[in-house]
Chain A
């Protein structure tokens, strides 16, 4: 009745029911969109667990394999299988695992006896997450900045230097970048200052320990983002409305920020979602080079030693991170380009 009084819409029929799912206000639409996408994470996580579970058991080897010639005897393996429930049919193991996950119980690790996977995972994720977030804070301003400057000064020395860096960053692998940094800041800086100062080359601390790993981690994504920003900015620079903006005498800052950047960011923002996910899920190489006990390294160890519970839990964490990062990107689209509609 109230509807009729305010909006003059006839009462009854299918329309008010539809409005529950598709509110007319922008903020409301956004909320519904976000809630819906968060609900969608449940099936996504389910399938991630399912596929990982199948792949994991398809891969040859078992958690009880030992390197070298000293294999465990069949009896011991049998007992271990019973103890960890690996003797049950696969589907029962799967259902049991799901049941436990719903109760936030990710089980015990196979390689570290008596430790829960959750504690191991959270313990190592702290390091990885800190590094990843810091690297992201380097990548976004430096990558976008370099890209925009290179595009605005296309075919000048500035452009060549920026793109030269970008090519270097892409065609030199991470471990070589790490090693070069160690040689420069660990060795040369040490000899230059007469042994007074150098950056620590291994370990983790919330101080100058972070500089080299963060730089190593940030090199490739920065190079990529710079290249991407440059290309899409060049695209926008050729548009008629940019010529108009210059012609009507807008100050450079305004043209660059409001007209160019806002329009050239769509591919950059798309790429930043997966980049963020990649950063906070850890890089084996960076963590190995700088001896950081992060999640990237523990995951590879888990895969190689078939630590089933650890593999599954890490994958669940990854899937949640990826889903959230992509959700943020999809929401950002709407703010960057009002023409993009939420579906």
Chain B
């Protein structure tokens, strides 16, 4: 095992490689840019983020209405020139609330997935790759984590650290990584027995290289789906927390809270639910497109 490989053959092997030496991720980026739908997804996400950042500025310059200004004589109004998407139950401008709601909902949706990816991905990779006792201990740990009540955990966290955006997304992220960990582990368990991993090991690749080069790209498909499906769930969970009184207090708008408020009037004013739900759907679809594009870019079999 420890026999040093002579220098010459290694150099020869370099010559066999593709004529133009580029790194995996440069190649991925290059192919990602060529995927039109993926780029469209990225553009939409960028627009949503810019919109969330610029919303207060647009209100300041009078282009968009104030999101918390009430006008109860004009509640549940349909779309008009003054209110492009109509008004809600307190006569607040829907368009403005949607744009401001993007601040909280996008932050929660995206950052929570980041936390889930880091914790769940790492534990799943280690557990699946190491196997044996490590695997068993880590998986029993996730069983414990899965079983204990997240509602209590969120209540404790929020009451200790206060109902800030930070404590809410840490709380949601920390209770939701378990599913991803198990999914990644399941993928790794089956991928690590495949021929290309065996040959990578035979060539003498380090564990880190096998994990990053072979396991991560091949386990990515289900991971992307879990994360994109997690975005709406995190957005709704934030609304549930607000409802229980431990979330972000009103009148700050968020998509989840807008759906929850609007659903009381789903029969008479369906737009109250439909518009925020469409916003959530667009966000999720954009990330799905980005994720699918990323997976295709990582898949060498897709090379033309």
Which residues of B (240-274) have their CB < 8 Å from a CB of A? 244, 256, 259-260, 263, 266-267, 273
- Whether A55 pairs with B152 at a CB distance below 8 angstroms is yes
- Whether B155 pairs with A176 at a CB distance below 8 angstroms is no
Contacts of A329 in B (CB 8 A): 182, 186
A232 to B221, CA, bound (A): 7
Contacts of A90 in B (CB 8 A): none
Judge whether A158 is part of the interface by a CB distance below 8 angstroms: no
Q: Please tell me which one of the listed residues A171, A175, A235 contacts residue B280 in the complex, with CB atoms under 8 A apart.
A: A171
Q: Smallest distance from the beta carbon of B29 to chain A beta carbons, Å? A: 21
Q: A238-B301, A271-B179, A340-B193 known; A176 and B273 CB under 8 Å?
A: yes
With A170-B229, A319-B144 already in contact, 12 other A-B pairs whose C-beta atoms are closer than 8 Å? A40-B140, A59-B155, A167-B281, A171-B284, A175-B260, A223-B229, A267-B183, A267-B186, A271-B226, A318-B149, A339-B194, A343-B135
Judge whether B164 is part of the interface by a CB distance below 8 angstroms: no
- Whether B143 pairs with A322 at a CB distance below 8 angstroms is yes
Using a CB–CB distance below 8 Å, which chain B residues touch chain A? 131-132, 135-136, 139-140, 143-144, 146-149, 151-153, 155-156, 159-160, 178-179, 182-183, 185-187, 189-190, 193-194, 221-222, 224-226, 229, 232-233, 236, 239, 244, 256, 259-260, 263, 266-267, 273, 277, 280-281, 284-285, 288, 295, 299, 301-302
- Whether B284 pairs with A48 at a CB distance below 8 angstroms is no
Chain A residue at minimum C-beta to C-beta distance from B189: A340
- Over the window 16-51 of chain A, the binary record of Cβ atoms lying under 8 Å from chain B Cβ atoms (1 yes, 0 no) is 000000000000000000000000100110011001
Which residues of A (146-189) have their CB < 8 Å from a CB of B? 167-168, 170-173, 175-176, 179-180, 183
Contacts of B273 in A (CB 8 A): 176
Secondary structure at chain B's binding surface: helix, strand, loop or mixed? Answer: helix
Q: A173-B236, A238-B301 known; A232 and B144 CB under 8 Å?
A: no
Q: Which 5 A-B pairs have the closest CB atoms?
A: A319-B147, A270-B186, A171-B281, A339-B193, A267-B222
Using a CB–CB distance below 8 Å, which chain A residues touch chain B? 40, 43-44, 47-48, 51-52, 55-56, 58-60, 167-168, 170-173, 175-176, 179-180, 183, 223-224, 227-228, 231-232, 235, 238, 266-267, 269-271, 273-274, 277, 299-300, 303-304, 311, 314-315, 318-319, 321-323, 326, 329, 333, 337, 339-341, 343
A303 to B150, CA, bound (A): 10
Q: Please tell me which one of the listed residues B132, B183, B190, B233 contacts residue A271 in the complex, with CB atoms under 8 A apart.
A: B183
- Whether B146 pairs with A339 at a CB distance below 8 angstroms is no
What would 25 A/B residue contacts be, using CB atoms closer than 8 Å? A44-B143, A51-B144, A52-B152, A170-B233, A170-B284, A171-B280, A173-B232, A173-B239, A173-B259, A231-B222, A232-B222, A266-B190, A270-B186, A274-B146, A274-B178, A274-B179, A304-B244, A315-B149, A319-B144, A323-B147, A326-B143, A333-B190, A339-B190, A339-B194, A343-B131
Secondary structure at chain A's binding surface: helix, strand, loop or mixed? Answer: helix
Q: Smallest distance from the beta carbon of B186 to chain A beta carbons, Å? A: 4
Contacts of A326 in B (CB 8 A): 139, 143, 182
- Whether A303 pairs with B149 at a CB distance below 8 angstroms is yes
